[in-house]
Structure formats: C-alpha cells, structure tokens
Structure 1
Amino acid sequence: MRRILSRALLLSSLLLAIGLLYWVIQWFINLPYSGVQIITAKSIITMDEAQPRVEAVATQNGMIIGRGTLDELLQQWPESKQSHFPNQILTPGFIENHLHPAMAALLLPFEWITPFAWDLPNKSVPSTQGEENYRQRLRAIADSYHNKDDSEWLITWGFHSDFHGEMSRELLDQLVPDRPALVWHRSFHEIWLNSKALALGDISAEELESVHGVDIDNGHFYETGLELALVKFKNYVIKPGRFMDGMEQVVDVVHSGGITTIADMAAGMFDMTAEWWAMKWELDDRQTPFRTRLVPMVKRIGDVPGSPEAIAEAGALLEKGNDQLKYVKQVKLLADGAFYSLLMQMRNPGYLDGHSGEWLTPPAELEELASTYWKAGYQLHIHTNGDLGTDVVLSMINRLQTQWPREDHRTTLHHLGYIGPDQAEKIAALDVLVSANPYYLHTLGESYSQRGLGPQRARNIFRGRDLLDAGVSLSLHSDFCMAPAQPLKLAWVAVNREGAGGSVMAKEQQISVHEAMKAITIDAAYAIRMEDQVGSIEVGKFADFAILDEDPYQAPKNRLKDIPVWGTIYKGEVFPIETSQ
C-alpha cells in the first residue's frame, strides 16, 4: 500500500513538474522580442507633419527608436530582425477616447434587435425596421426561449421608436408573457420592463416619488430613473459570468477596429470595484492588444460625490494599475440627456412636438461638482448633446476659468450632437476641446429631419467643419455601443456626411480625410493627454500601429469605411485579426 501511495505521489509530483516546466517554456516563448525590429510596409503614414511618410520604422522593447529609409535604419542596426508588410499600409494605432467597456460587456451578450445591421467579431445582427418587423423579431426570440427556465430574463438592446414604433409595459406583456423581459433603448438611457420583471423590483411609492424619469404604468425608466432601475434589477441584469463573457467580446471588438488605446469614459458606471477587477482580469493582459485609460464617473466616486472624501478616493485611484490598465487624473461629468432618445436640452424653439429635454445632472449640481475637481487639478470631460446643454456648460467653464484660472485645462465636450452656428467660436475661445460622435448624423439625421428637430437642425448634426475652422481640437469617438468601434467608419461619416438612407447632409460641414485621420489618431490622443506617447509614429512613442489593406489617403473618400483592417502592432508585437487570415 505504501509503495502504491509512493508511486502515486511520485507521479503527481512528476506531472506537476511537467506542468510547471510547460508553463515556464510557454512564458519564455511568448515573451516579446527584446532586440531591434525594423518594420517596413507598402507605405507608412506617420501623422507627423514634419515627416508624413517613412519607408521603415525601428522598434525595441515596445517603443519606436528610429524611422526613415530602410537603408538608414539597417546601417544603424545591421543585426536587427525585419518584419515586412509588402501589401499593407501602416498608420498609428487608432485612439478611441470615449468607449465604455463595462456597458459593452453588459450589452454584447444580450439579444440585439437594431434598426441597422451590425457586423461584430462574435455575431452579425441584421437590420430590423418597421413596427411589425420589430414585434415579429421579438416574438421569435421569445419563442426560442421555450426550453429555458421561466425565471430566465429575456433582455434585448437596440429599440428605437423612430424605426420600431412605440413600446410599453402592456405591449411587452403581450409579446413576452411567460417570463421577465426588458427592452433596452438604443441610447442605453432608457428601458421598458414587462409586468413579470417589474414585480421583482419591489419599488416603493417613496422611491418613485423621489426620482424623476419613471413612468411605472408603462414600465418605463429613463435618464435619472434608469439609475433606480439599475439598483433594483442589478442582480437580474448584471450576471457575473455573462458579464465576463461580454468583456472577452469587448477585446475582439476593439482589436477589430485597429484600435490600440482606449479610454473608458465613465469608469465605475455600474460598480467601481467590480468593474476594476473584471477589467483587471480581461484587459490587464499582455495578449490584450490595447491599453486602457480609466476616467472615473464623478457620481460614482465616494459615498457623497464631490466631498473631500470623494476627492481623496479619486486620488487613491491614481495609484492603481500600469500602462496596460490605469486611472488618470481626469473625470467624467454628465450634463443633458441622450441624443438617441431626443432628451438633450435644446434652445428655442425646442422640439417639434413640444416635449422637453432632461438634465442628467441639474446645472447647479453640475457646476458644484465641476468646480470641486477643477480646483483639484483634474481634467474635465463633460457629456453634452444639445445646444442649450452646451450653452450651460460653456457658461460654467467660463466662470471656472474666471474664478480659478488654469492653463492647459483641456476640458473636453463629449458627443456634441447638435450645436448652434455661434457655438464653435465660443468653444474655441475657452480653449475647450471636442470629442464628437459623428455617427448620430448617419443614423439619425434623416429621421430627425421628420421628427424632433426638423430638417435645418437635423442636417447640421455634428458641425465638424465649423469646429475645425474655429480652431477647436476635434477628435471622434464611438461611445460603443452607440456607434461601431470602427474609427475608419467614424472618419467616413465625418468626411462624407452621408445618412443611412443615402442622402448627403450639410455638405459644407464635411471635413477632409487628413482632418478625419488626425481626429482618430494624434488629436484623439491629445484629448486624453497621451499625445507624447501615442497617436503618431515618432521616436520615443509606443510602437503601436494599425495595419490596413488600403491607403486611406488614396482610396476614394466614400470607401473609407470599407478599408479592411488586417490587424495591429501593439508595443512592437503583431496581432493579426483572425477573420483576415
């Protein structure tokens, strides 16, 4: 018996040793190349005005150490390793300075019923338009759940009344009668629940009275009311296993867009600690081919937002992480409501049907929070969508700069769906930056011409030309899942201003291909204070590149969105996109 136990122990030890040896070998095999690497391609676009194109780039330990002709670099490093992309174009890795990994991780595993098609690495989603088509699609999904337990929630994302008709608790009860169901609006700022789901929330009359943005009879929670819903239904909606599956999909989505740096522009939107560990697990990995900068949401810092304790907590966050995943001295604030929901704050004459927009943060509270972090030296990123919302935010920034002057404050307005013709100059005068979502124009310009804004304002969604002519530093973002995380597609919208129906809107607001490329590289880096590290191919910066199958400067400008992304180079390592193999 002892001999058997002894042999079993010996075998176990041997297997453990083999396993450890295998792990060590794999670790060494997967170590990045530490010598000098010279990379050449059909063409290399640097986004550096001093030397717009080069023949070759030298990298070592993840950094760019040289650029120029191949002969020049070989003379300097004759023993270097060479990597050649004879049919591809290299650009700086794209910068996505407003994306929500946690929101995307939540939504990606759900059922998508969207007005326009999506081509994602892990699934393709067909276009669904028309009231009856939407309802048939939702019924079909409900029928496909017949083998699932009745307690399993059916959650869909992508509903928009302009394309799908009206939504209500009563209608959802008819379409999904047998299980809890939740319809998430395309904006993410609204949800509808059926009766079975609503009954699980145990929402008191006092809670309903204390929160604006709830129509309980219709099972409708929107803007500030959504916060109550997320508290009440969090355990049903945010399932840890499903959320981590979604975070894994986020990695594929980001990589497929040629993106090598992202900013989570509302870190902690659901739960600061849980999100940190989820991203630590999935994103803080050498095989994740992009870095993440975390910009925390002010209302999620501390028990009392803006308090001295909250400021101390924000400071402590800066000690966490490394280049792959870390917090930065920047914060996110919210002004007016969602553009997809027609809840942004608009100047007179307001909305065509007379309804009013919403404040995500009342102006007085917004200014109190902004002033606290402004005085503490934080860069402010402010979500604002309508021209009235922008007026309020610009007046606030003017007061902050007057009372507590700061150089290089880089306050950045995000989204900026619609501004008036006078506002670009005002933005420039305050040295304010803009990170815009041009995709609103593509998906909503034609629809909002008929409903909400009318043709004159709708055609001028995203005034890119006005902003650049005024001297504003402009970058483009997806706010994924509000737009595809495909910087070239965002550039295509900004350059062509083509709606989903094919019409070209406000051609005078088009920007050039070069301006659009800057807006997804060096100017996008500038908005998050990373222009010294990424955004152009220069010595001393990270060796991050997007590998394209066509030259964006030579392809017809209406084909920008169709240029295939072959893969990326991140810190000198090549990461092909699997579908392009």
Structure 2
Amino acid sequence: MTSTQPPHAGDVIYTARLIRTANPSHPTATAIAVRDGKVLSVGTLEDCQQWGITTIDRQFEDKVLTAGFVEAHSHVMTGMYSTFPFVGWFGRHMPDGRWVDAVKSTDELVERLRTIAAEKESGLPIVVAGFDPIYLDTERLSCHHLDEATTQHPIFVYHASGHLATVNSFVLNKYDIGPNHPAPGVGYHGDGQPNGELREPAAMALARDEFRLLGRVVFAPETLDGFGQTMRNAGITTATDLGNVFHNNEEVLKTVLETTEKESFPVRMASVPRILGGPDGIDEMVSRVLTVRTHSHDKMHMPVVKMVLDGSIQGFTAVVNWPGYITGEDHGLFLFPPEQVVDLLRPFHQAGIGIHCHCNGSSTSGVFIDAIEQLLREHAWLDHRHTITHAQLITHAQMRKAKNLGMSANFFVNHVWFWGEQHRDFTVGPDRASAMNPCATADRIGLQYSFHTDSPVTPAGHLHTMWAAVNRVTPHGSVLGPNERIEVDRAFHAVTIDAAYQLHMDHLVGSLEVGKYADMTVLEQDPYEVDAMAIRDVPVWGTILGGIPSKSTAQR
C-alpha cells in the first residue's frame, strides 16, 4: 500500500549494500528514506517506496551506511592544526585532509622549530602542538632543548594531552618565571631553576601572549571549520566540544552559532560549557547556560556542562589512589578543591543540566561519584546521566557505585594504543594499565558507557576507538588487558547510541530510527565483516548529514 501523504520536494531513498542502524529492534536494512532531513523509513527499497518516493539515489549501493558516529568528548581545538604546526609522535591527517608525518625525537622537533624560526621575524611567537615527551627514552624536553632552535623567538610547545606545555628561555625571561615562582605547576631542574615545563592552565597562562594566542585561534571561524572538516573526514556526524567558554562572550557565541548554521558546516556540534571559578559565580553561569540554550539550532546544541577535576596520567598530573605512580614525580593536582565540588555542581544538578566530569585518576573519579551521591540525596533526578569522562583508572567498586547512582562512563580507550606501553612501564604499572578503560568490566557490572578520542589529543575517528576496544593492542603487539576486550557490535553501539545517550541527544541522533536526523557514516567496508585487526583501516567515504552527502577530503 502506498502512503496517502503526498511526496515532499527533496524526498530521497538511499540504497546501500548494508545499513547498520544501531537500533536493536531493526539492526540492519538495505534502504533508507529521508524527508526534511529526517529518517522517514528504514528497511528494504520496497518498504521505503510505500511513501510514494520516486527519487532513488544508488550512489552507495556498494557501500555500508551506519548510524552516524557520535563523538561525546572532543574539542574545537582539533581545528587548530589549520594554524599551528603538528609535531606529534604518531602522524595524522590535518583538517584539510593532508597527512603530516610524526616527530620521533627531540632533535627532530628542534629542527622543525629551527625551520619555522628561520621564516619568522624575531620576537614573533612560535606555537606548535601535539608533542609528548613521554615517548622519548632521552632526557625530558626542557627549555634548553628549545633554546637550540632559537633564542630570538618565544617558543610554546603545547603537549598532546592539552595539560602541559614546554617553553624556551625566551618565554621564561619574558614573564620572569624564575626559581620558587608562586604559581602551581611550574617545573624545575634539580638545581631549582625552571625547566620550561608548565603544567595545567594556571602555569601555562603565565606565558600570557602565547597562551592567549591559543585562545584566539580556538575562537576563530577557521578553527571551527577545520573542526567540522576533520570530524566529517573521520565519519563523525555529531561532535562535542567538551569544555569551552563560548557562552561567556556574545561576539564569540555569535560566530559559533553562525558558523555551525552554515549549510557547508558538515557536522552537528554539541557545545559544552566548562565550569570555571568558585561557588560564588555558579548561579550566574547556570542562568547564562540556560539562556544560551535558547539559541540552539539543528547543528548546534548545548546539552550538558563539564568540570575538569584533574590532569593527565602521562603528564603525571592525574590524581591517583595509593600507591601512586610507579616511576616519575607525582604532580597529581586537583583543579578544584574536593570539598568544593558538591557546591559547584549543585546548581547545575538542580537546574536539570547534565554534568560530565574529567576524571583521569582513580582518586578523582571517587570524588566525583561521591559528589553525585550527595546531590542525589538532596535532589532526586532519575534521568541525570552524569558522566565520568575518561574514567581511565576507575576501580570496580567505583563502577558499581556509579552504576547504582545512574551514572555513565566515557572511556578514553585510545590510550591503550597511544600510551598503553608507557602506562605499563612508567606511570601506573602492568596491573593497573591492564585494567585501564575497563569496557568489559563495565558490561559485567551494567555501567552504561561510550568511548571517545578527546581529539586533538588523539586523532578523530571512531573506527580507531572501536578497534582499540575490540583488540587492546599496543604498538609493539602486546595485548594490554585481554579480559577487557569487547565485541565489535558492543563497540559500535558505544560510539553511536550510547554516546548520544550521554549527551541527552539520543532522541535526535545515535541510531537510524523514524523521526531522528538522517545522519549516517558512509564506509567502504563493514567493520563487522573485516578482521578485527583491520577495523581501524576501513576507508571512510564521508558522511550523510540530514540526508545530504558530504565526501571526505582525507588523503588515503
């Protein structure tokens, strides 16, 4: 029987070799009908034709369509590589699709900086990003290494984690960063002289002009465009900028809203404000967030807020339980006093605003979970979905408690590949490294979870996170935590509907169901059918956003 509703202009049916919907009631299909940017029907071509649609687009008949990948923890800074040179240990694609090779030594970093300096007028800043000294078996990067590149320019090397930077002596002298500086997070040599390492925002902000330059680039339309292009190239249709201050600046907010609303912007963005300051200003921030939410549009949402409670494990600034780090200096740092966390979060919880809290260390996860328990005792909310983001060293007891409280975890499972060997050998040791990002245990306990890339910390792309969760392989071929591996179907749902759930957006995205946005990832192969070790190598054709195809520009 054919529908009695007349067809709409723009109605289209896409056919494919296979469609994976992330909808357990109807997990696969071969055709999908789109009307007004939303899913009208999913099933066979005959099912979809019952709506009277005559336009059939067969360009994907040899491809696999899936529910659009949802990235619940990334950053607009992903687009900064349109401006700042990339100097990471693993090569990656830039926003425009170019591939940039890795930097594998301090000498190679110094040479790249020397080349950049030769083309810059003296005194102008040099900012590069993506470096991480933990991979090197030589002396840790310091101001003296950077001085070998240039003494005529301020150098700011922004680490891959986003929690540290290393600067040269030009910067130390420019801002009088000397012995016994009162700011927390300033690194020192054994002789008491600063070594150029600045840990966490309070210390990085001492390099005032260079740190502000990072901020200006983040707010630029070019960076937003680069963010969108990078996500599209990775097959992501909804991407979260988890932790920004766009809501504080009307001009910046206007730029974000206008940029994301452009037809050419290729991704839906979940913009998540970061909680800053003390308890006295929180009520004002809640009011501002609620006001800004009213400006949301189809490609710009503000579903939750974020608190950052500690640093990074590989930077030794995450706060971990006894016995602490196995090697290196413990620089674990709470970015808010634990005793203030409940007071800071209470107004958001009471206003019905979901909270995602950055917790890398086990101690930090415990503080956040206890705070949510207190808030739920005070103010019941059955559908809060408060999320421990990263949750890398979360304990089994903490997971059981979080599950009982209705919380979620967003695991940083890419760490198994990018830093697993370093965690095993240098940060927390073999047993705790094997238990990091414990997806299988979360399933056994019943704790809802997704996983993320934290791009630009690791490259955008959920085929890689799926691969990491399924295999848990390190660069030298070890399997780190074999009992925490999961099946590909579970991984697929973690990067689609489960991620959307944590953002309170599962009524809009995350699965291909009637009435939801027609957002799809277009793949050349089926991740379910290829060898498990080949999942990350499945080519991404691009995406379909609201029914409109958008081809990747990434070089293969």
Same fold (TM over 0.5): yes
Distance 1:532 1:563, change over 3 A: same
- The alignment status of 1:378 with 2:353, answered yes or no, reads yes
Q: More displaced, 497-506 or 334-343?
A: 334-343
How far has the Cα of 1:104 moved from its partner? 2.4
Measured in 2, the distance between the counterparts of 1:75 and 1:108 equals 46
Measured in 2, the distance between the counterparts of 1:236 and 1:224 equals 14
What is the one-letter code of the residue matched to 1:383? H
Distance 1:403 1:226, change over 3 A: same
The 8 Å contact of residues 304 and 310 in structure 1, kept in 2 or not, is answered as: no
SS in 2 for 1:175: coil
SS in 2 for 1:422: helix
Distance 1:72 1:406, change over 3 A: closer
Aligned to 1:5: none
How far has the Cα of 1:325 moved from its partner? 1.7
Measured in 1, the distance between the counterparts of 2:424 and 2:358 equals 23
- The alignment status of 1:346 with 2:323, answered yes or no, reads no
Q: Which runs of 5+ in 2 are unaligned?
A: 1-7, 189-193
Measured in 2, the distance between the counterparts of 1:447 and 1:579 equals 30
Aligned to 2:420: 445
Aligned to 2:131: 159
Alignment of 1:496-507 (within 5 A): 496-507=471-482
How far has the Cα of 1:404 moved from its partner? 1.8
Equivalent pairs counted in the alignment come to 540
Alignment deviations for residues 280-329 of structure 1 (CA, whole Å, 9 cap, x no partner): 343221111211121111117xx97644323322222112231122323x
% identity of equivalent residues: 26
What is the one-letter code of the residue matched to 2:321? R
Aligned to 2:113: 141
Aligned to 2:45: 70
Aligned to 1:109: 83
Alignment of 1:123-138 (within 5 A): 123-129=98-104, 133-138=105-110
- The alignment status of 1:316 with 2:291, answered yes or no, reads yes
SS in 1 for 2:441: helix
How far has the Cα of 1:137 moved from its partner? 3.2
Measured in 2, the distance between the counterparts of 1:392 and 1:418 equals 13
Distance 1:128 1:474, change over 3 A: same
How far has the Cα of 1:480 moved from its partner? 0.6
How far has the Cα of 1:565 moved from its partner? 0.8
The 8 Å contact of residues 113 and 134 in structure 1, kept in 2 or not, is answered as: no
1:396 to 348, 352, 371: 371
1:493 to 468, 493, 509: 468
Q: Which has the higher helix share?
A: 1
Alignment of 1:133-282 (within 5 A): 133-164=105-136, 165-201=139-175, 208-209=181-182, 211-215=183-187, 217-226=194-203, 228-229=205-206, 231=208, 233-239=210-216, 243-268=220-245, 272-273=249-250, 275-282=252-259
Distance 1:555 1:145, change over 3 A: same
Measured in 2, the distance between the counterparts of 1:431 and 1:237 equals 37
How far has the Cα of 1:426 moved from its partner? 1.9
Measured in 1, the distance between the counterparts of 2:261 and 2:528 equals 34
2:407 to 432, 453, 464: 432
Distance 1:95 1:331, change over 3 A: same
1:412 to 387, 401, 405: 387
Aligned to 2:332: 357
The 8 Å contact of residues 99 and 555 in structure 2, kept in 1 or not, is answered as: no
TM-score, length of structure 1 as denominator length? 0.87
The 8 Å contact of residues 263 and 294 in structure 1, kept in 2 or not, is answered as: yes
SS in 2 for 1:537: coil
Aligned to 2:63: 88
1:539 to 502, 508, 514: 514
RMSD: 2.5
Q: More displaced, 356-365 or 502-511?
A: 356-365
Distance 1:201 1:173, change over 3 A: same
Q: More displaced, 366-375 or 113-122?
A: 113-122
Measured in 1, the distance between the counterparts of 2:402 and 2:338 equals 18
Measured in 2, the distance between the counterparts of 1:454 and 1:221 equals 25
The 8 Å contact of residues 212 and 224 in structure 1, kept in 2 or not, is answered as: no
The 8 Å contact of residues 495 and 510 in structure 1, kept in 2 or not, is answered as: yes
The 8 Å contact of residues 109 and 242 in structure 1, kept in 2 or not, is answered as: no
The 8 Å contact of residues 36 and 81 in structure 1, kept in 2 or not, is answered as: no
What is the one-letter code of the residue matched to 1:245? E
SS in 1 for 2:503: coil
The 8 Å contact of residues 205 and 211 in structure 2, kept in 1 or not, is answered as: no
Looking at CA atoms only, which structure, 1 or 2, has the larger radius of gyration? 1
The 8 Å contact of residues 40 and 57 in structure 1, kept in 2 or not, is answered as: yes
SS in 2 for 1:383: strand
What is the one-letter code of the residue matched to 1:88? K
Alignment deviations for residues 196-247 of structure 1 (CA, whole Å, 9 cap, x no partner): 23344467999x53x3222472233212424633655444444559944333
How far has the Cα of 1:401 moved from its partner? 1.1
Distance 1:79 1:243, change over 3 A: closer
How far has the Cα of 1:168 moved from its partner? 2.1
What is the one-letter code of the residue matched to 2:431? Q
TM-score, length of structure 2 as denominator length? 0.91
Measured in 1, the distance between the counterparts of 2:410 and 2:70 equals 11
Alignment deviations for residues 433-481 of structure 1 (CA, whole Å, 9 cap, x no partner): 1111111111111112111211111122211111111111111111111
Distance 1:477 1:157, change over 3 A: same
Distance 1:174 1:580, change over 3 A: closer
